[in-house]
Amino acid sequence: MAERKLFNNTLKIYKDFPKAGVNFIDLIPVFQNEFLFKCIVDNLANRIMKLLDSKYPNRHLYKIYGEPKLMVADGRGLILGSALAYKLGFDMVLFRDAKKIPGEKVTVKFNNEYAEREFGIEADSIKRTDAIILVDDVIATGETMNAMRKCWLKAMANKDIYNYSNMFPMGIIAEVSLMHLKYLKYKSKNIITYSSRTK
């Protein structure tokens, strides 16, 4: 597809940034291209809805038992997640630096390519019956996606559990990103990505 070629030609890769051994994928030029960004958001939103429709046809029950929500990683993931939340009409939960979260929160520590971090969410931002869709800009080592998954599990440990599983999608149902670096071996059943690289 012409859009995929344009995507690959628009992003920039900087070797050994921000430290030696790391190849930094700069997606800001992609976000700055109005046509390309619209193509990406439309493509990912349509695939998310197809996944929901195929797995959970009784989507009218969302209003009764809970709703799909995007758990979005702060930073460039927030740019993509905000656009998807608007397009889909879904609520968004921000996974961000623990120091920036006021009030009660649920946090986890993790390492990405750069440093150890502590991120989290507001404790009351998700319910046990919500269908969570994780969103980040790039799935590289997978540490951010894993951290969001662990944060969700930690938050759910304090929630009342009801068995709505026969009628409503519970838990984490998909992981969405602009790029999946498959050579870094991160695996998941439902990765929805616009582009991938094997090297």
**pLDDT tens per residue across span 49-74:** 888 877 766 666 555 555 788 999 99
Residue 77 has pLDDT above 50, yes or no: yes
Residue 177 has pLDDT above 70, yes or no: yes
Residue 165, SS3?
Answer: coil
Q: 48 is written with which tokens?
A: 């998310």
Q: What's the distance, CA 151 to chain centroid?
A: 13
Residue 170 has pLDDT above 60, yes or no: no
Beta-carbon contacts of 151 under 8 Å, excluding residues fewer than 6 positions away, are 71, 95, 106, 107, 108, 119, 120, 121
pLDDT at 58: 67
Beta-carbon contacts of 54 under 8 Å, excluding residues fewer than 6 positions away, are none
DSSP state, 61?
Answer: G
For residues 5-34, average pLDDT: 89
In the chain, where the domains are located: 2-197
The percentage of the chain sitting over the pLDDT mark of 70, rounded to a whole number, equals 82
Residue 163 has pLDDT above 50, yes or no: no
The percentage of the chain sitting over the pLDDT mark of 90, rounded to a whole number, equals 45
pLDDT at 44: 93
Residue 174 has pLDDT above 50, yes or no: yes
77 and 137 in contact (C-beta within 8 Å)? yes
- Average pLDDT over the chain reads 83
Question: Beta-strand (E) ranges in 37-167?
Answer: 68-73, 91-97, 105-111, 116-122, 131-135, 138-139
Pick the CATH number of 2-197 from 3.40.50.2020, 3.40.50.2300, 3.40.50.300, 3.10.20.600: 3.40.50.2020
pLDDT at 122: 96
**pLDDT tens per residue across span 31-53:** 999 999 999 999 999 999 888 87
Residue type, 114: Y
Q: How do 91-97 and 138-139 pair as beta strands?
A: unpaired
Whether the model clears a pTM of 0.85, i.e. scores above it, the answer is: yes
Residue type, 101: I
**pLDDT tens per residue across span 84-104:** 999 999 999 999 999 999 999
